[in-house]
Structure 1
Amino acid sequence: MAAARVSLGRILPESSILFLCDMQEKFRPSIAYFPQIVSVAARMLKVARLLDVPVLLTEQYPQGLGPTVPELGAQGIRPIQNIIKEPVPDSGLLGLFQGQNPLLLNSRP
């Protein structure tokens, strides 16, 4: 069964941000389709860089969960340490997106 296509509408680089959340080594074995998720995220990251779209990368407890996976191609992007379990409105994390249209990509189920 093919996945349903979702239309995001028109994405404007000047009012967008790419949010890459916790795409780390220790999540690799426990997330279905992890290689495909990282591959799509890497392509999105390349496009974001071409269009000068800001990128926000988070890592959760990198000492235990490892760094962001290298195949993402996020070298040079300084990750924000995510101590929040879920990016929910009352967590403060979404405040970083004020005035932006985040394209959310979360590697965790």
Structure 2
Amino acid sequence: MRIRNEISKATDENLLFIANISDALAHPARLRMLKYIMKSNQKLEKVYTKTLVEEFGYAQATVSQHMKILAKAHLVEIKKEYKYTLYYADLGILMKYLNETKKYLNS
């Protein structure tokens, strides 16, 4: 019985992880911004709030809100550089999300 409870708890934690990441990715603007940040990071280009505002045409407040949601899901890391905000994609979390989702759907 104890093993079953531990397995159930692990499954619940995985489901919560999948649901939280899915929720963060549920908005098309966030998907586009995450993709842009990932590609920019691969080219070693810095991505600031201003960069995203100019690239996507959203207000600064809108970009900041979307980035906070992605950061809360650990998909994006936010760093301060003087008075500017930089964004970095966390590919490890994204890969974990994809793997956990695949495992869950195939179980």
What TM-score, normalized by structure 2, do the two folds share? 0.31
Greater helix proportion: 2
TM-score calculated relative to the size of structure 1: 0.30
Relative contact order (C-alpha < 8 Å, sep 6+): which is higher? 1
The structure richer in strand per residue is: 1
